[in-house]
Chain A
């Protein structure tokens, strides 16, 4: 299993955030995307999540164009309109294709400590429960590439711990994990690092990752 970035360039109509990134990830690899606010972390994740078109180049998964069924995506912020009259399980089912057995469904909810609220109306859930519900959604989609946009910035402690454990499980299963992070002191170990500075992208392997020179103008990364 490989995820390849071919001459990838991202940005908006008026602004290019980087161009010509060539790199690849294989089964069980994890990538941390780092950089200041506005450097393009979220834009890159949106591009990888197929929510936005790349400015140039493309993304291949196992040699074919990346499809939405290959990916699971947790956006940076969520603004869920919860008072619309649906339950937690109905919400999750909105983004699932095909049938999933009831046992699998219930077990996954339980893994995120949400087994008691499967049929609870969405507007009765806490913020933390809503966050974990979004993780249940990704889990049940069973994608090969998982994308998390600064998940640790807003998750409460219990959600955070579940996610950290899940990420290591997914790595064991050979899935590719891509996480944008704001802070190097993360509990997670990454295999690759991609640092964005708004005009360039620097790809680094694990061993070189803690060099001081990855600190950028106006945005010193906190060293570990």
Chain B
């Protein structure tokens, strides 16, 4: 029982750290209209994660390293694609994501090793180890620091692309943003799986945008809301043996839908 409680503590701390690190990223994803593109790109970490699980016998480090490598490489490649090819950006991303998903499925289902595809796709709270906890804490701290450094140029680029495009500060800010997004994506994947990862990144900001006006208050509302959903979801999942990742995302989604209806009625 004591070990189980430690597991719960690990899970809650990991998800809280994740929400703090991911919320500023989510704010920019939503305002840059990148939510769906990122959702698609979340799957690029699957082949690396599956390969890591096979080679490292399900060790967390192997899965995280595999996921990070394919995630970062494929994400940066996809972001570079529009300049190389002249098909639409959304199609580019879709092609990458489908290819990654197919490759990941083949690797996971190849019969080598004992890969839990279910855990890779939807996360598993009972697999959150101190490795995952440390990884998530480090990524979240890096994310918060990096975003605060590039905040001004990234916000300018989000608001006024015609003006900011091509400026050195914009180019650097975008590259850092994409790199941090890939890292946060990997951390989110380990907590809630590839299919729900983007939910935990954009969910809190989507809620906050409905209720808060200034950017500062949006961040505060988002983080508080995200943490509340994470704690409630994790505890319910623990008590009733339900899928924690699904509960957290569902709590966020229901709150967002109700908020939209309340706001709509007010206006």
- Which residues does A use to contact B, with CB under 8 Å? 46, 49-52, 68, 73, 75-82, 84-86, 91, 94-95, 121-122, 134
Which residues of chain B come closer than 8 Å to A78, judged between CB atoms? 160, 162-163
User: Do A51 and B155 touch (CB < 8 A)?
Assistant: no
Please classify the interface of chain A as helix (H, G, I), strand (E, B), loop, or mixed, using the class held by over half of its residues.
loop
Which residues of chain A come closer than 8 Å to B160, judged between CB atoms? 78-81, 91
User: Do A50 and B152 touch (CB < 8 A)?
Assistant: no
- B 132-162 to A, binary, CB cutoff 8 A, 1 in contact else 0: 0000000000000000000010011011111
For A74, give the chain B residue with the smallest CB separation. Answer: B163
B156 to chain A, nearest CB (A): 4
Which residues of chain B come closer than 8 Å to A50, judged between CB atoms? 166-168
A150 to chain B, nearest CB (A): 13
User: Do A121 and B158 touch (CB < 8 A)?
Assistant: no
User: Do B214 and A73 touch (CB < 8 A)?
Assistant: no
Which residues of chain B come closer than 8 Å to A77, judged between CB atoms? 162
Which residues of chain A come closer than 8 Å to B220, judged between CB atoms? none
User: Do A80 and B159 touch (CB < 8 A)?
Assistant: yes
How far is B217's CA from A91's CA once the two chains are assembled, in angstroms?
Answer: 17
Which residues of chain A come closer than 8 Å to B166, judged between CB atoms? 46, 49-52
20 A-B pairs in the complex with CB atoms less than 8 angstroms apart: A49-B166, A50-B166, A50-B167, A51-B166, A51-B167, A77-B162, A78-B160, A79-B162, A81-B31, A81-B158, A81-B160, A82-B159, A84-B155, A85-B214, A85-B217, A91-B160, A94-B155, A94-B159, A95-B156, A95-B163
Interface centre among B152, B160, B212 (most CB of A within 10 A): B160
How far is B213's CA from A134's CA once the two chains are assembled, in angstroms?
Answer: 23
Which residues of chain B come closer than 8 Å to A49, judged between CB atoms? 166
- Which residues does B use to contact A, with CB under 8 Å? 31, 152, 155-156, 158-163, 165-168, 212-215, 217-218
User: Do B159 and A91 touch (CB < 8 A)?
Assistant: yes
How far is B123's CA from A83's CA once the two chains are assembled, in angstroms?
Answer: 34
How far is B159's CA from A121's CA once the two chains are assembled, in angstroms?
Answer: 13
User: Do B165 and A85 touch (CB < 8 A)?
Assistant: no
User: Do B212 and A85 touch (CB < 8 A)?
Assistant: yes
| Given A68-B168, A81-B31, A86:B159 Cβ within 8 A | yes
Please classify the interface of chain B as helix (H, G, I), strand (E, B), loop, or mixed, using the class held by over half of its residues.
helix
How far is B163's CA from A134's CA once the two chains are assembled, in angstroms?
Answer: 9
How far is B152's CA from A95's CA once the two chains are assembled, in angstroms?
Answer: 8
For A53, give the chain B residue with the smallest CB separation. Answer: B166
User: Do A94 and B156 touch (CB < 8 A)?
Assistant: yes
How far is B168's CA from A215's CA once the two chains are assembled, in angstroms?
Answer: 37
User: Do B214 and A68 touch (CB < 8 A)?
Assistant: no
How far is B162's CA from A82's CA once the two chains are assembled, in angstroms?
Answer: 14
Which residues of chain B come closer than 8 Å to A51, judged between CB atoms? 165-167
Contacts A91-B159, A94-B152 supplied; 10 other A-B pairs, CB < 8 Å: A81-B158, A81-B159, A84-B155, A84-B158, A84-B215, A85-B213, A85-B214, A91-B160, A94-B156, A134-B163
Q: Which of B152, B155, B161, B168 contacts A79 (CB 8 A)?
A: B161
A15 to chain B, nearest CB (A): 14
B62 to chain A, nearest CB (A): 40
Which residues of chain A come closer than 8 Å to B159, judged between CB atoms? 80-82, 84, 86, 91, 94, 122
How far is B164's CA from A46's CA once the two chains are assembled, in angstroms?
Answer: 11
A108 to chain B, nearest CB (A): 18
How far is B161's CA from A50's CA once the two chains are assembled, in angstroms?
Answer: 14
For B165, give the chain A residue with the smallest CB separation. Answer: A51
B21 to chain A, nearest CB (A): 21
| Given A50-B167, A68-B167, A85:B218 Cβ within 8 A | yes
| Given A68-B168, A94-B155, A121-B213, A84:B162 Cβ within 8 A | no
Which residues of chain B come closer than 8 Å to A95, judged between CB atoms? 156, 163
A48 to chain B, nearest CB (A): 12
How far is B73's CA from A222's CA once the two chains are assembled, in angstroms?
Answer: 53
For B28, give the chain A residue with the smallest CB separation. Answer: A84
| Given A81-B31, A84-B158, A95-B156, A73:B163 Cβ within 8 A | yes
For B215, give the chain A residue with the smallest CB separation. Answer: A85
How far is B159's CA from A46's CA once the two chains are assembled, in angstroms?
Answer: 19
B231 to chain A, nearest CB (A): 27
For A84, give the chain B residue with the smallest CB separation. Answer: B31
How far is B31's CA from A91's CA once the two chains are assembled, in angstroms?
Answer: 15
Which residues of chain A come closer than 8 Å to B165, judged between CB atoms? 51
How far is B163's CA from A81's CA once the two chains are assembled, in angstroms?
Answer: 12
For A49, give the chain B residue with the smallest CB separation. Answer: B166
